[in-house]
């Protein structure tokens, strides 16, 4: 149902830790939210149900964001359901870790396909469909500054995301659309905890002056700022890491 005054957001990876928090935060700000998922519908539907229970407007949609026809169907779903698209939060990504010397090329290619090609596809569609006054919010990582071993392929993919972000911001001159990237530090999500010992987790948490891990809510506050009042922030990478770098 079209309502021109209703702001509409697509959140890719909307069933994940940061994505689901961003979806809930934008819904609380009055956005109608399309919660995207890659493979598993149940977690996305759970996010949607939570938003609706709180009085918000949301729907879920599954797509491989690295395949343009599927990603295009995601945007079409938003337009069919709500009439238009104002904000795209592109949080979908993967993070397999291994030293550069031993990472197999199939894993490297999978990281680049999801993280870099996926961003290119989503940003390309966002640039075509977002209304005047909108925002594109990509996700990088603080690891691009930290040069941590085993993160080579992941950091390389996110370095590419930053380049796309900064250039797209300049390419959209005159359209009143902001394009920025959020670069979280270590954040307490299932993706972060996977494969880490408690000791390692505690050491990482102490690495910033706040001496704690970030929370998904910490990151979604930055997203909400960029999606709403932060209109004079454009073509930037915002580091949300407690002062880690």
Asked if residue 195 has pLDDT above 80, the reply is no
Query: Which of 80-84, 132-136, 201-205 is predicted with the least confidence, judged by mean pLDDT?
Result: 201-205
Task: Name the residue with higher pLDDT: 194 or 169.
Answer: 169
8-186+216-238: CATH superfamily: NAD(P)-binding Rossmann-like Domain (3.40.50.720)
Distance CA(114)–CA(92), nearest Å, equals 8
Q: By percentage, how much of the chain surpasses pLDDT 90? A: 90
Mean pLDDT of the 20-39 span: 97
As a whole-number percent, the residues of the chain with pLDDT over 70 amount to: 99
In the predicted model, what is the mean pLDDT of the chain? 96
Q: Domain-by-domain residue ranges, the chain?
A: 8-186+216-238
Would you place residue 56 in the very low, low, confident or very high pLDDT band (cuts 50, 70, 90)? very high
Tens of pLDDT, residues 64-98: 999 999 999 999 999 999 999 999 999 999 999 99
Q: Which long-range contacts (CB under 8 A, 24 or more apart) does 75-79 make?
A: 75/10, 75/125, 75/126, 75/129, 77/34, 78/8, 78/10, 78/34, 79/129
**Residues near 211 by Cβ (< 8 Å), separated by ≥ 6?**
205
- The Cα–Cα gap between 99 and 145 comes to 17
**Residue 71's closest CA among 12, 138, 21?**
12
pLDDT of residue 76: 98
Spot the catalytic one: 37, 82, 154, 239.
154
pLDDT at 150 over 90: yes
Residues 6+ apart with CB under 8 A from 120: 164
Cα 143 from Cα 245, distance rounded (Å): 9
Confidence of residue 194 (pLDDT cuts 50, 70, 90): confident
How many degrees, rounded to 5, is the angle at CA 15 between CA 148 and CA 8? 110
Within a 13 Å sphere around the CA of 51, how many CA atoms are in the beta-carbon half? 29
Q: Is the pLDDT of residue 1 over 60?
A: no
How remote is the C-alpha of 163 from its chain's centroid?
16
Residue 37 annotated in active site? no
* pLDDT above 80 (res 35): yes
Q: Give the contacts of 219 (CB within 8 A, at least 6 positions apart).
A: 18, 21, 22, 182, 184, 187, 240
| Region 2-25 average pLDDT | 93
Q: What is the mean pLDDT of residues 105-122?
A: 98
Range 57-83 burial, b when 16+ CB lie within 10 A, else e: bbbbbbbbbbeeeebbebbebbeebbe
pLDDT score at 191: 76
């Amino acid at each position: 149902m079209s309502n021109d005054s209703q702001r509409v957001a697509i959140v890719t990876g909307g069933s994940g830790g940061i994505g689901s928090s961003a979806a809930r935060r934008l819904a609380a700000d009055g956005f109608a939210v399309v919660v995207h998922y890659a493979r598993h519908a149940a977690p996305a539907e759970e996010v949607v149900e939570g938003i609706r229970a709180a009085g918000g407007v949301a729907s879920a949609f599954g797509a491989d964001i690295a395949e343009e026809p599927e990603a295009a169907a995601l945007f079409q779903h938003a337009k069919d359901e709500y009439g238009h698209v104002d904000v795209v939060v592109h949080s979908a990504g993967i993070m397999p870790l291994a030293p550069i010397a031993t990472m197999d090329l199939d894993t490297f290619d999978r990281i680049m396909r999801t993280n870099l090609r996926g961003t290119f596809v989503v940003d390309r569609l966002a640039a075509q469909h977002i209304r005047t006054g909108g925002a594109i919010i990509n996700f990088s990582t603080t690891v691009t500054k930290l040069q941590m071993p085993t993160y080579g392929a992941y950091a390389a993919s996110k370095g590419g995301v930053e380049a796309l972000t900064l250039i797209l911001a300049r390419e959209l001159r005159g359209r009143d659309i902001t394009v920025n990237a959020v670069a979280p530090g270590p954040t307490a999500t299932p993706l972060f905890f996977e494969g880490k010992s408690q000791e390692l987790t505690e050491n990482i948490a102490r690495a910033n002056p706040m001496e704690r891990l970030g929370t998904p809510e910490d990151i979604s506050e930055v997203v909400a700022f960029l999606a709403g009042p932060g209109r004079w922030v454009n073509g930037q990478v915002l580091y949300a890491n407690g002062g880690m770098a």
